[in-house]
């Protein structure tokens, strides 16, 4: 039985065997309460990269009923039906702006909203986390980090992934939240996930104890304050 709308927004996570992030992905599978949940991969942000797709199947195929939805060589007529049949939709990283544009062209945005409301868990790292919020800090437009303001708006506020692994992320996100160019939101290190039940934060999880998450809030004088969120370690 569905537990209602849920989203797992990951600051950054790898599917490679050498990564520590397998525990985060197992946590995602465990959220379903099923032995072999159905999971569908959307690799749109990476241009449906064959390498990313192979990494997805390498991790998930032995643990779940895995499939994917390609949009650059589309083979599926009824996208809404496909997504509503899943227990999880996993969105890969890459270019958030391009992904959103392609999704809207194919009606994936509408199908995802219906799936989310029906209790299908939505998840993903980087672009696969940015997309669920009103806005995000994105490198979609080049090496300079810009605010992206046309997210799907399933979740309130803004999101910043890779808070620890890309040196420009933290000062730029604080600058934009402090100035009001981005609304208050969540900043998340790689290897950390935020689980939302409905539109409310339910818990933070991480694979390493030194990784962090914050709610970043605008203060007077164009300043931003980081309010720490303590993640629970998953193994």
Active site residues per annotation: 126, 162
Nearest Cα neighbor of 39 from 96, 77, 91, 108 is 91
- The three-state DSSP-derived secondary structure of the chain is CCCCCEEEEECCCCCCCCCCCHHHHHHHHHCCCCCCCEEEEECHHHCCCHHHHHHHHHHHCCCCEEEEECCCCCCCCCHHHHHHCCCEEEECCCCHHHHHHHHHHHCHHHHHHHHHHCCCEEEEECHHHHCCEEEEEECCCCCCCEEECCCCCCEEEEEECCCCCCCCHHHHHHHHHHHCCCCCEEEECCCEEEEEECCEEEEEEECCCCCCEEEEEEECCCEEEEEEECCEECC
Phi-psi region of 212 (alpha: psi -120 to 50; beta: other; left: phi over 0): beta
**38 φ, ψ to 5°?**
-90, 125
């Amino acid at each position: 039985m569905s537990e209602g709308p849920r989203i797992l927004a990951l600051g950054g996570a790898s599917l490679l065997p050498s990564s520590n992030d397998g525990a985060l992905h197992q946590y995602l599978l465990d959220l379903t309460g099923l032995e072999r949940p159905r999971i569908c991969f959307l690799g749109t942000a990476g241009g449906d990269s064959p390498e990313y797709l192979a990494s997805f199947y390498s991790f998930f195929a032995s643990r779940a009923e895995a499939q994917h939805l390609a949009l650059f060589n589309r083979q599926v007529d009824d996208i809404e039906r496909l997504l509503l049949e899943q227990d999880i939709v996993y969105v890969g990283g890459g270019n958030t702006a391009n992904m959103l544009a392609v999704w809207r062209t194919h009606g994936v945005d509408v199908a995802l909203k219906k799936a989310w409301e029906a209790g299908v868990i939505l998840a993903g790292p980087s672009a696969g986390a940015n997309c669920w919020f009103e806005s995000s800090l994105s490198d979609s437009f080049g090496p300079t980090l810009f605010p992206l303001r046309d997210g799907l708006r399933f979740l309130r506020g803004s999101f910043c992934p890779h808070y620890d692994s890309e040196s420009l992320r933290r000062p730029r996100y604080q600058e934009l939240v402090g100035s009001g160019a981005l609304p208050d939101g969540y900043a998340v290190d790689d290897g950390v996930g935020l689980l939302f039940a409905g539109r409310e934060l339910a818990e933070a999880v991480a694979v390493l104890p030194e990784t962090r998450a914050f709610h970043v809030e605008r203060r007077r004088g164009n300043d931003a304050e980081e309010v720490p969120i303590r993640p629970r370690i998953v193994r």
